[in-house]
Amino acid sequence: MPTAGCAYARTSTFDRRVVAPVTRTSRKMYACPNLATTYRLVPTNIGGPFTMRAPGEAPGLFAIESAMDELAYALRIDPIELRLRNHADVDPETGKLWSSKSLKECYEQGAQRFGWHQRNPQPGSMRNGDRLVGWGMATMVYDAGFSPTSASAQLFADGNVLVQSATCDQGTGSYTIMRQIAADTLGMPMESICFELGDTQMPEAPVSAGSKTTSSVGSAVYAATTFLKSKLLNLAFKDPNSPLYGHIEAEVIVDNGRCYLKDNPTQAQTYVEVLQLPHIESMAAQERIQPDKEIEKFAHYSFGAHFAEIQFHPELGELRVTRYVGAFAAGRIINPKTAHSQLIGGIIWGIGMALLEQSVVDPHLGRIVNSDLAEYLVPTNADIHPIDAFFIEEEDPRVNRIGTKGIGEIGTVGAAAAIANAVYHATGKRIRDLPITIDKLL
């Protein structure tokens, strides 16, 4: 008989129905030859839900990673060891090879930084004065999405480049990293690159969701600027007045907007000079990209491991996440600073999911009654203690043209499970519904 898992989600009888992938990622996590999952919507007379960060994966992984922790205790096996024994070397659902997978490295390096080897596995055995201390961990798995996308790039005679795509920047750093990709591809300083977005008259881009903006739009920007670079160089190669005349692109290096021969750097010409000789005011290129057959041969996912420490005061009922380590493998990281901020923000969302956030519905009116930030609690600075989040170095030439995987959701996925597992280690109480409020621990 297959191992079965079923998720039920509440939806509206009158509003659009949102189908979140609550059980999809569960099928990707561990080597299991006989797994079947289902997802069912239950219509109710309330407003319909809509997506936020990791809308299906966050609750889905809370369930399976809590269950894995419970199994580890039942078998008296270290939670990491249990996961290693069930590590999926290929995609369990499709049998495809992973484009890349550094999950074991995430376990190893995350555990090392956290000090997991010092953990006493007995629940309630670790203390800090009057407070119970709990350590928990969980796996992170998230789809490295990619959607068809277009971008354009235009070089002007003054040496400035305009790149456009109809995406958006929600504060995640799209403006910055698209300029980085364009500058790196063209061999130009970032100061010369302008990236514009947010207008539907620009080249078409997908919705900015599902941790796929960098991979999709970034790949399109890379393709458009690569095409533009080739057009510029070919113009020089065909111009008898150019020092690059008669050569091919493989023989040329471009650095700081200067094109020169690998074997003879003195034979050089700037992009501006390439346009000036034939008196061209600007040159443009536009590309549309979509997943090809070679990419579809592989399963594309980001992986990671969460490690959480909680402290609980049994007399005061105070529960805090006092220390956190997250190790993640997400392919090429374009901008380490903004990417690190994404991880920290995602983990904080996970802390809110685990301990604070809850929508309370009036059973008679079907309306959410805690509809403001005075009663819907979210983490503040005082709630957040040190968070050590980092990336495992990973190269993935098979996921997309620029080797990136999404990072917007990965800090959140699995975080609530790590915290709940830490709560069990401290208190011996297995909490299966969130948030973990004081009344559930007394």
pLDDT of residue 410: 95
Strand partners, 44: 12
Q: Sign (positive/negative) of CA torsion 314, 318, 323, 328?
A: positive
Give the whole-angstrom CA distance, residue 297 versus residue 308.
36
Is 273 considered catalytic here? no
Closest to 324 in 3D by CA, of 186, 416, 425:
416
Domains and CATH numbers, the chain: 3-145+295-440 (3.30.365.10), 149-289 (3.30.365.10)
User: Are 44 and 317 within 8 A, CB to CB?
Assistant: no
Structure tokens, 98: 């992973």
**In DSSP terms, which residues pair with 276 in a beta bridge?**
none
- Specify the pLDDT at position 2: 52
Q: Residue 165 CA to chain centroid, in angstroms?
A: 21
Query: How far apart are alpha carbons 134 and 425 in whole angstroms?
Result: 5
**DSSP designation for 360:** P
Give the Cα separation of 260 and 267 in Å (integer): 6
Output the pLDDT for position 4.
59
3-state secondary structure of 417: helix
- What is the layout of strands, in order, in the sheet containing 149-156? 193-196, 161-164, 149-156, 282-289
CA distances from 270 to 36, 232, 273, 334, 415 (A): 59, 10, 5, 26, 50
Q: Block means of pLDDT (10 residues each) for the chain, length 442 residues?
A: 72 81 89 86 83 86 96 98 97 94 98 98 96 98 92 96 94 92 97 95 90 93 97 94 94 95 94 89 94 89 98 94 98 95 96 95 89 93 95 94 92 97 98 94 89
Residues 405, 400: Cα–Cα separation, whole Å: 8
* Whole-angstrom distance, CA of residue 423 vs CA of residue 425: 5
DSSP codes joined into one string, 286-304: EEEE---TTGGGEE-EEEE
Residues 182/153, Cβ–Cβ less than 8 Å: yes
Interatomic CA distance for residues 414 and 57, integer angstroms: 8
Asked if 232 and 283 touch (Cβ cutoff 8 Å), the reply is yes
β-strand partners of 37: 5
Strand pairing category for 35-44 and 3-12: parallel
Q: In sequence order, what are the residues at sequence separation of 6 or more whose Cβ sits closer than 8 angstroms to the Cβ of residue 60?
A: 7, 21, 22, 23, 24, 25, 26
CA-closest candidate to residue 415, choices 356, 331, 363, 337: 356
Measured CA to CA, the distance from residue 141 to residue 143 in angstroms comes to 7
- Mapped onto helix, strand or coil, the DSSP state of residue 40 is strand
pLDDT of residue 293: 84
- Please give the helix or strand (H or E) that residue 60 lies within, else none: helix 57-75
CA dihedral 209, 215, 216, 219 (to 10 degrees): 160
Instruction: Check residue 3 and give its pLDDT.
Output: 59
Residue with tokens 């407003």: 47
Side-chain-side CA neighbours of 119 within 13 Å: the count stands at 26
Single pTM value for the model: 0.94
Contact of 122 with 45, CB cutoff 8 Å: no
Q: Is 402 strand, coil or helix?
A: coil
Q: Which one from 57, 287, 357, 409 is the annotated catalytic residue? A: 409
Distance in angstroms (rounded) separating the CA atoms of residues 402 and 397: 7
